Amino acid sequence: MVRHCNSADQASREQQVPFSPFLTAPELGRAMERYRRAGLWALSFAALCALLSLLAAAQSRHWAPSFEAFLAAGTVWFIAVAWYALRHSGCLANRTIRELDRSALRRLERMATIDRGSRSFEYMYLKARLEDEQGRVDRSGGSIGVLYIGVDKLSAVNDRFGWDTGDEVLEELAATMRSTLRVYDTLGRLGSVEYLAILPGIDRRIARRVSERLRRAVEQYKHQCPGGGTVDFVRLSIGLAAYPFNGETTENVVAAARHVMEEVQKAGGNAVSVSEQFVRTDQKGAMVITEAVGRGKRG
């Protein structure tokens, strides 16, 4: 799988968002087209009303048509049509402005939760998503798979090919991971080379398969640089944990996944490790780590 520097981002549909809070050219074009059509309808309606008034005046038996009569009838119809057109255009303008405001607001909200470098969600969004998923599991049962992902050897890319190439590689790696995950999974960036994947409704056994699929996808990744050279040595170290098997809260589960990810990196990287620890927070706010096996929690 070869990716070039000018390749398009293959982000999932959820995370493909624009990064400008202002109105885009297509939105402005659609708004102007609406106003143009409203004006044409108003002119057509005015012409039709004027024609009908002239015909009615000419065929009336009890009223002799004259220039003054035509002028009065035309004035009345013009006032009625102008009132209708202004009212319709005002409603249309208000509705269009509200739609554009909502679109801009949604874009701003997404900008606040999207990391521009990798186009992945940031920590605050991940935290809120984990809390929501924990509440769902506490109410309805099930489990949540959590993958703590470390990108190995990215610093070598920056040293050999420059920071611009490193940014391109990071963005393409994030796109590769998103395309490998399910549409309703969430991928977010925690640090410069660390990611977190939230897999709702998945236990540790299935999450392990997903982790291996991610690792193999990045293992096959290649980036051809314009100045020569190929980036094909970037790998993933993945720590896996699940709620509620590995922690009292999803925050504890993330800590368990990070711990095993760091162990994978110390062992050389490019591997997946499943946590067998149970993490809880004591009354002083410190995390206590024990063995998860035998706790009666399903993994």
The pLDDT value given to residue 66: 57
Structure tokens at 200: 């709702």
The pLDDT value given to residue 297: 45
The pLDDT value given to residue 36: 61
Q: Are residues 81 and 45 in contact, defined by beta-carbon separation less than 8 angstroms? A: yes
The pLDDT value given to residue 12: 39
What pLDDT tens digit does each residue of the chain (299 aa) get?
Answer: 434 343 333 333 334 433 344 445 555 556 666 666 666 666 666 666 666 666 666 665 555 555 555 555 666 666 666 666 655 555 555 555 565 555 555 554 555 566 665 667 778 888 888 999 999 999 999 999 999 999 999 888 888 888 888 888 988 998 999 999 998 899 988 877 899 999 999 889 999 999 999 999 999 999 988 778 889 999 999 999 999 999 999 999 999 999 999 999 999 999 999 999 888 887 676 667 777 654 444 45
- CATH number of the domain where residue 191 is located: 3.30.70.270
Same domain (yes/no): 80, 147? no
Residue 19 in domain: no
Same domain (yes/no): 47, 103? yes
Same domain (yes/no): 130, 245? yes
Which of 113, 137, 152 is at the close of a domain?
113
The pLDDT value given to residue 92: 53
Structure tokens at 249: 């809260």
Compute the CA torsion angle 100, 102, 103, 108 (nearest 10 deg).
120
Q: How many domains does the chain have?
A: 2
Task: Spell out a b/e string for 30-64, using b for 16 or more CB atoms within 10 Å of the CB, else e.
Answer: ebeeeeeebeeebeebbeebbeebeeebeeeeeee
Same domain (yes/no): 130, 109? no
Compute the CA torsion angle 40, 46, 48, 50 (nearest 10 deg).
-150
DSSP characters over 99-121 = HHHHHHHHHHHHHHHEETTTTEE
Residue 90 in domain: yes
Same domain (yes/no): 53, 151? no
The pLDDT value given to residue 199: 95
Same domain (yes/no): 92, 131? no
Structure tokens at 156: 């070598």
Same domain (yes/no): 177, 257? yes
Which of 88, 113, 138 is at the close of a domain?
113
Q: Helices 163-180 and 154-161: crossing angle, nearest 10°? A: 140
Number of helices (H), then strands (E), belonging to the chain: the values are 7, 12
Residue 13 in domain: no
Element (H, E) at 35: helix 25-59
Nearest to 207 by CA among 253, 261, 145, 259: 145
For 277, the domain range is 117-291
